[in-house]
Structure 1
Amino acid sequence: MFNNIPPITRNIIIINVIVFIATYLLGDQMVGYFAAFYPFSPLFKSWQIITHMFMHGGLMHILFNMMTLFSFGPILEQTLGDKKYLILYFASGLGAFFLFNAWNFVEAQQIISELQTLDINASDIYAKAAHYFGGIPKFNATTVEGQELSVQYYNLLTTPMVGASGAIFGVVAAFATLYPDAKIGIMFIPVPMKVKYLLPIIVLISVYLGVSGNGGGIAHLAHVGGALVGWLLARNWRKHLYRFN
């Protein structure tokens, strides 16, 4: 069955599995180099913009992502062709990265401003983040508020973004754009729904969770960024996709 998957989707799944196994074996070393840190963090490396798409935080994370890609990817790969499908996948992943970190930038600036009002130097926290060791260091803040803000800024600088979810949300959004009346089933919803109705609901929930801060450690705005890019690309390609038919 696996050999029947179109080559690009198959190879993306294989690479993700290989990287997941390598991360399990090497641990923090892989995360430090290949997960995507906030671009203004001392831990950020330029290649992380791409490599984070092949990193995952656990078995259920990679299983869910790869099953979703397996469900939607082959159809789009055959419909769009190799070149457009690759553009869709990686552009969606980049869109996820940039929207998520644009929101991180807004939050970082707000935290820095509040630290300054408390006469706390954000550069000191930045310096501690550069020597990240997996725990929370001691900060110079003398108040509870200052300590909380210092921890928030430190966590923003040292918490990496991992996963193919943004790229895969782009694939799902493109599928919904090209095949809006297709019905799919999803957990907790007993009746299959048309994907053109289901996707906007998921995106709106992701926007709320991402902006409200109730995301539970999930980069919901990355999903939104990926879906937005996937929708824009598919919307543009749809005009010319069947022009010779």
Structure 2
Amino acid sequence: MRTFSPLWLLLVSQLLVGCESLHFPWEKGAATVVPGTETVEASQPVGPGAQCPEPVAVVCAEPEVKVVERVIERRFEKVVEVPVAKDKLVLGAVETVSIEPGGLFLESVIDTGSATSTLSAQELTRFERDGKEWVRLKLAPPDSGAEADLTTVELPIKRHIRVARPGFESQRRPVVEMSLTVGEVTHMVEVNLTDRSGSDMPMRIGRNFLKDAAVVDVSRRNVQGEPKAPNTK
């Protein structure tokens, strides 16, 4: 009877029992036991009888998402079209105004920033008549510098106002009533008087004449032309 070596017997026995942990010294990754120690290092077995490791599910962490709220504020300019009544005047930045008393035609600035109208006159003189305060003023026709051409006007003073201008001392001005005509519209309004000789524009039409009567187009001049008194239609 032929004798089998112990190594063959061990191999056959392991194959019969289905052991998958049999390792040979010459196989890579075989378990190594160091005498005198308790540490055993072993690699995964390789070869036909090696057992594959269980699959492990790898879950990747979701990246952190930062949500930044951006608020953009937009401002839109709202254009409102205001209808203009048909019976209102359309005035330019400069218009010719007829004043009474005096009967003069003066180039006037249309000043929406002034509450009352202003007239620049010469030789303002206050005096008393019948117990009331009056004022005497002289007006020069346009393009006339001769003293003989000056027109003298006397009017009762209704009240006084104090006007402050940047860079100038405040002035106490007399206020009188005058009839002003622009185009075909005539209004009796309050006019404050100031002594401002040599002014290119002796008259400034304020809001007390413009209110409820006219609209202003500052890009135009002399829209209404020469004034027309109500009795000369």
- What TM-score results when the alignment is normalised by the length of structure 1? 0.20
TM-score normalized with structure 2 length: 0.20
Q: Quick check: which one's strand share is greater?
A: 2
Higher-Rg member (1/2): 2
Q: Which has the higher contact order (CA 8 A, sep 6+)?
A: 1
